[in-house]
Every structure is written in C-alpha cells, then in structure tokens.
Structure 1
Amino acid sequence: MSSLPYLNGYPPNLIDQIERLIDNNKLAQYLFSRYPQNHEFKNDKQLREYVLTIKDRYLKKSNAISKIQYDNKLHVVKNALGTHTYVSRIHGSKLKSKNEIRISSIFKLAPEPFLNMITVHELAHVKELEHNKAFYKLCTHMLPNYHQLEFDTRVYLTYLETQKGEN
C-alpha cells in the first residue's frame, strides 16, 4: 500500500512518478503549471449558481437540489471530497425527499477544474447512486476528461498533505 493514500488503486508507475516529484520538490510546479488559477466561487451562493449551471446543462430533468454548500466538516482522508444526500421528511401524509450537495471547503481555494470534477461527481449521484459503469459514463458525458481530473485532484490533495507536513 502506498504512503500516498489519495492515490491508492492507481498503477505503481503513476505513484512512482508522483513520489519522484515530491522527492524533488517539483509537485507544486507540476500542478500549478497545469492548473495556474484558482476559481472565484468562494461562498455558498456562488457555489450554488456554479453547480446549478452545470446541472441545468446536463441534468435538466433530474430532481431539484435543495441545498448546495461548502462544508468544512467533510474530511477528505475519509474519501469525502463532497457528498450527495437524500433527506427524507414526512410532510403530513407524504414522504418528501430532497437532494443536497456538500463540497469540502478545501475546494474553495482549488483550481476550477478540480471544483468542476467534484461538482460533476456529486451531480452524477443525483441520477446514479453507485459508482458503477453508468455513473462514470455520466461523469465523462458531463466532463470528458473526468478521469484525468480525478487523478490530478488526488495529486492536488497529496500536495496539500505534503504542505501540512512542512508547516
């Protein structure tokens, strides 16, 4: 098992490349040459508009999302970069279900492609609950380079962890 928990499951040659970048203090250079700018969606209102714009483009007929927000309680080590939940409430004699999306506040300062990847991932859960073939097909429909961005987001999280160790 790799000492890079965000990269577990990736081929050893990719993990070795990232470890070499870390050892040579070049991981930041790699990431920020590919993704030089952070996004401007810093608060929950801006995040909501961003997510709904993507939803309206690709998932118009899907259920509404009642709450979209950054969540500083999500812990990325537990694989919770974002969450999609259904909240069910009894309303009189009816059972009402609401969709909620929460994205880790760590992405407030991230490059926009990483926020886009997390958003697409959580939106895909509106239609597909499981991480199955249909789920990933929907992700790549909304974001053709989804898999590369997922990997690079994990590299970004690895970078953030290495920075914590230096402070």
Structure 2
Amino acid sequence: MTTLKYLGGYSPETLQKVQTLIEEDRLAEVLRARYPSVHAIRTDNALYQYAQQLKADFMGKTQPLSRVSYDSKIKVIQHALGQHHYISRIHGGKLKTINEIKIASVFRKAPEAFLKMIVVHELAHFKEKEHNKAFYQLCCHMEPNYHQYEFDLRLYLTYLDLKGDLYV
C-alpha cells in the first residue's frame, strides 16, 4: 500500500478510492481528464500580474502587493506550496510595508486551477493570518471550487511523487 502523505486527514473511504486509482494505474487518467493542460504563466512578472488581478477582483483595497514570484527553494515535501510574507519597517520616519508571495517552482508547469488555488490561499493570508473559518470562507469567495482544487492538487502531488511529471 502506498503512503498517501498529502492526503492525511481524509476519510478512510476517500483514501481507499485513491489507493485503488493508484493500484489500477488510473490516477494520471483521472487528473488529465479534469485538468487537460497546464497554464502559461511562466515568468515572475506574469505571476505577479495574475495575483494582482485576483487581488483587485476580490480583495478591494487591502495592502498593496509588493512582489510575487516562483521560488525553487520552497519544498513541497515540507508541506509548503507557497509562502506569504508581511514585513513592516520604519524607513526615514515612514512605515513601509512589504507584502510578498512566493510559489513553489513545481507549479510553474501545472494546471491553472492549482496555481489559482495556491495564489488565492496566500492572498487570503493578507486578511486572515490563521487557517480558520473566516480564512476558508475568503478562499471560497475568491475561488468557489477551492476545496475541490485543493484535493485534486493533493492527488497531483501524490502522482508527482510516484511517477514524476504528468504533463510531459
């Protein structure tokens, strides 16, 4: 039986269904049917514009976004898909705030739904620091399929661990 490290906390029934997909070598088929292609957001600048648009559409006048980038140092193994940083400094008598998001480089070549889920998650941290009910409500406001995308992303990460790249 395969260790399903990205699916901890799901019901035994769900885990068994995933295990069956893996044993029957059908996980790739299911993922490709739901997400047939990868996004075209390859550069940090394009990623910044993408995040900025989501922020403008759903978060109104929150703190400005300083930087958004892909980061090869973020390790998915350590349960980090992305990171957000909120830093306040006094600079010349003025308070300067830096808000940045870093996304694991593995998502440079992934379905757009997964990238959106991660960006939405990190943007939600600008308003809600903890993973509480208000945080997930904000995530679902920005992306109604947030929870489905999160589950499918966990399936995708499981596939990457087992077989490697799905979109060659």
TM bucket (normalised to shorter chain) is over 0.9
TM-score of the two chains, using structure 1 as the length reference: 0.94
Q: Distance in 2 between matches of 1:140 and 1:69?
A: 23
TM-score of the two chains, using structure 2 as the length reference: 0.93
Q: Distance in 2 between matches of 1:7 and 1:85?
A: 26
1:64 aligned residue:
64
Q: Distance in 2 between matches of 1:152 and 1:121?
A: 15
2:128 aligned residue:
128
| Range that drifts further, 81-90 or 110-119 | 81-90
Describe the superposition over 1:71-110 as per-residue Cα deviations: whole angstroms up to 9, x where unpaired. Answer: 1100111111001111233312344221110001110110
Amino acid of the structure 2 residue aligned with 1:90: I
1:114 aligned residue:
114
Q: Distance in 1 between matches of 2:140 and 2:67?
A: 24
Q: Distance in 1 between matches of 2:105 and 2:127?
A: 24
1:21 matched to 2:21? The reply is yes
- Match of 1:141, SS state, is helix
- Match of 2:48, SS state, is helix
Quote how far apart the aligned CAs of 1:15 are: 1.1
Describe the superposition over 1:29-74 as per-residue Cα deviations: whole angstroms up to 9, x where unpaired. Answer: 0100110010000110111111111111001211001010001100
Q: Distance in 2 between matches of 1:89 and 1:5?
A: 38
Number of equivalences: 163
- Match of 2:126, SS state, is helix
| Range that drifts further, 114-123 or 83-92 | 83-92
1:3 aligned residue:
3
Q: Distance in 1 between matches of 2:136 and 2:108?
A: 24
Matches within 5 A, 1:73-152: 73-152=73-152
Give RMSD over aligned pairs.
1.2
Quote how far apart the aligned CAs of 1:5 are: 0.9
Q: Distance in 2 between matches of 1:95 and 1:46?
A: 28
- Match of 1:100, SS state, is strand
Q: Distance in 2 between matches of 1:77 and 1:7?
A: 13
Q: Distance in 2 between matches of 1:99 and 1:107?
A: 20
1:55 matched to 2:50? The reply is no
- Match of 1:127, SS state, is coil
Amino acid of the structure 1 residue aligned with 2:161: E
Identity of aligned residues (%): 52
